């Protein structure tokens, strides 16, 4: 599967939710789509899932526009914070319905997940708690094994142990049945180990699309005596700084060359890696200023 997004923008009346977005997803990987509240994640994913159409630019799945194209949409599953308040069916019967329109759906795996999430089989789904309804969405997404599976902040209301089951199952099932999985989230520190690639949206713009390891290798914090740190980082992209007495710590973004690292150590500076959470917080903060 290949998703190509070119110069894509989306306006809601006079609000620009997405601005000139460009990227391509080509592999059976787990893609993390990160962004603060209102960054445009759901707007982007809903175009991908054909719930909405862009104002300009293009989005294609295997070279075809998904909007109102049933054949393309068969390749995409969009799981979001769906409300089941009118769903009188019990879970097994609901999953059997889903199985009818998802050709890869694995009912045995779905039942296994129902047991793992301890979902009641004797209750109408509309009487499920919020977290149980989210677990149901996770089950539909995982057991559906759709070539492009999108989870848009699907964990809402799920408690920490249930989220943990979700993350473990995503990894395990992806290993067995590779597909393109897109996870949109702002729970970055909890989910970072899942991502092969990261896309970061901020204020409707795509700040970056990088492999997870490449992205992490670009961040570093440099700590030491104030003047030496300031001299060392003066030509680097600085995304955050803290100071305590004469000691300063500056977070930089960009790739530190080996000789720069050696020079820093020779000057008595400490270099530490940054977490995805730190990069997320400070890269989006800087852009907002």
Count of residues in the chain: 289
The contact set with ligand ATP (CB under 6 A) reads 12, 15, 17, 35, 37-43, 153, 186
The conformational region for residue 20 under phi > 0 = left, psi -120 to 50 = alpha, else beta, is: left
Minimum Å gap between C-beta 259 and ligand ATP is: 40
Nearer to ligand ATP, 37 or 175 (CB): 37
Minimum Å gap between C-beta 89 and ligand ATP is: 28
The arrangement of strands across the sheet holding 148-152 comes to: 76-79, 148-152, 180-185, 30-35, 197-202, 205-211
Q: In whole angstroms, give the CA distance from residue 184 to residue 199.
A: 9
Residue 83 — φ and ψ, nearest 5°? -100, 125
Minimum Å gap between C-beta 90 and ligand ATP is: 30
Minimum Å gap between C-beta 46 and ligand ATP is: 8
Q: In whole angstroms, give the CA distance from residue 98 to residue 95.
A: 5
The conformational region for residue 30 under phi > 0 = left, psi -120 to 50 = alpha, else beta, is: beta
The single residue listed with the structure tokens 């009118």 is 86
Q: Could you report how far apart the first and last alpha carbons of the chain are, in Å? A: 37
Minimum Å gap between C-beta 18 and ligand ATP is: 8
Residue 235, both tokens: 């030509």
Residue 57, both tokens: 């630019």
Minimum Å gap between C-beta 17 and ligand ATP is: 4
Q: In whole angstroms, give the CA distance from residue 81 to residue 62.
A: 27
Nearer to ligand ATP, 33 or 77 (CB): 33
Minimum Å gap between C-beta 140 and ligand ATP is: 20
Q: How far is CA 274 from the centre of its chain?
A: 19
**How many C-beta atoms surround the C-beta of residue 168 within 10 A?**
12
Nearer to ligand ATP, 33 or 220 (CB): 33
């Amino acid at each position: 599967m290949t998703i190509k997004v070119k110069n894509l923008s989306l306006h809601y009346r006079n609000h620009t939710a997405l601005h000139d977005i460009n990227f391509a997803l080509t592999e059976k990987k787990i893609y993390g789509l990160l962004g603060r509240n209102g960054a445009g994640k759901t707007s982007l994913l809903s175009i991908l899932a054909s719930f909405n159409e862009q104002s300009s630019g293009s989005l294609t799945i295997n070279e075809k526009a998904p909007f109102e194209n049933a054949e393309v949409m068969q390749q995409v599953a969009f799981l979001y914070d769906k409300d089941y308040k009118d769903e009188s069916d019990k879970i097994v019967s609901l999953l059997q319905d889903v199985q009818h329109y998802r050709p890869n759906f694995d009912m045995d795996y779905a039942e296994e997940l129902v047991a793992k999430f301890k979902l009641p089989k004797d209750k109408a789904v509309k009487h499920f708690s919020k977290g149980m309804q989210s677990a149901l969405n996770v089950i539909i997404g995982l057991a559906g094994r759709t070539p492009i599976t999108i989870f848009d902040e699907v964990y809402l209301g799920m408690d920490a142990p249930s989220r943990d089951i979700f993350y473990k199952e995503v990894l395990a099932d992806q290993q067995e049945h590779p597909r393109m999985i897109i996870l949109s989230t702002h729970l970055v520190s909890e989910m970072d180990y899942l991502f092969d690639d990261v896309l970061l949206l901020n204020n409707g713009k795509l700040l970056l699309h990088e492999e997870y390891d490449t992205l992490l290798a670009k961040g570093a914090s440099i700590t030491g005596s104030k003047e030496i740190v300031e001299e060392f980082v003066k030509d680097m992209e600085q995304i955050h700084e803290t100071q305590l007495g004469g000691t300063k710590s500056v977070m930089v973004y960009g790739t530190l060359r080996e000789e720069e690292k050696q020079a820093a150590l020779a000057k008595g500076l400490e270099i530490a890696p940054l977490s995805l959470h730190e990069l997320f917080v400070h890269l989006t903060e800087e852009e907002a200023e």
